Amino acid sequence: MNGDFVANARQKLPAKLLTEWLPRLKLGGGNALDLGCGTGAEAEWLAHNGFTVDAVEKSPIMAQAARERCQGLAVNVTLGDFLDFNFERGKYSLATAINALPFVAKDRCRMLIEDIQKSVAPGGAVILAVYGPDHAWANRADMSFWTKDEFATVWPDWTVHNLEEFRGDLPLMSGETIFQHRIHLVAQKP
């Protein structure tokens, strides 16, 4: 990971998907889970908005940046792979993973989503972003790509507030621009 990437990541604002949708969900704080937290933009924002956050990041450099960014806030940054995370049943009022789930092979991603669903308390919500099959990286077997309809089927008993697709050239933290096909989901557990 080069210095420019980390410097750019440290300046990252929290995802618009999170900042626009969380107020509409009226969750009122509680415990939040941020998988693949990067440098902690979402975790920091959640802590400032009344949440106690468990943030998980497998890159030591990014996890350290998240710790620094969230110092003094109700954020516990765990260095580790979220595939190994101990999901506690019903612990979280919110679980978020913004562009982290795609970096897991499809079968494992499906199991991870089940773990996330179990960890969300009744009335809690998820705010997630995954990649679609038209994404520039869609030929990678170590990643997962979902169609909008396919991703919707994973949430049969949840109230889906938002399920949108985005396609277009978007910049990465590295400065490179690639074609991204993303699917955003906001859903609430009954």
Read off the pLDDT of each residue in 129-157 and give the average, rounded to a whole number. Answer: 96
pTM assigned to the model = 0.92
Q: What is the pLDDT of residue 9?
A: 54
pLDDT exceeds 70 at position 158: yes
Tens of pLDDT along 101-123? Answer: 999 999 999 999 999 999 999 99
Distance CA 125, CA 102 (A): 19
Distance CA 55, CA 63 (A): 9
Q: Residue 3 — pLDDT band, cuts 50, 70, 90?
A: low
pLDDT exceeds 90 at position 5: no
In one letter, which amino acid is 119? S
Residue 128: which of 11, 12, 36, 27 has the closest Cα? 36
CA neighbours closer than 13 Å in the CB half-sphere of residue 57: 22
Strand (E) or helix (H) holding 79: strand 75-79
Range of the domain at 173: 3-188
Tens of pLDDT along 60-83? Answer: 999 999 999 999 999 999 999 999
Number of domains into which the chain is organized: 1
Q: What is the pLDDT of residue 8?
A: 56
Q: What is the CATH number of the domain that holds 47?
A: 3.40.50.150
pLDDT exceeds 90 at position 172: no
Strand (E) or helix (H) holding 133: none
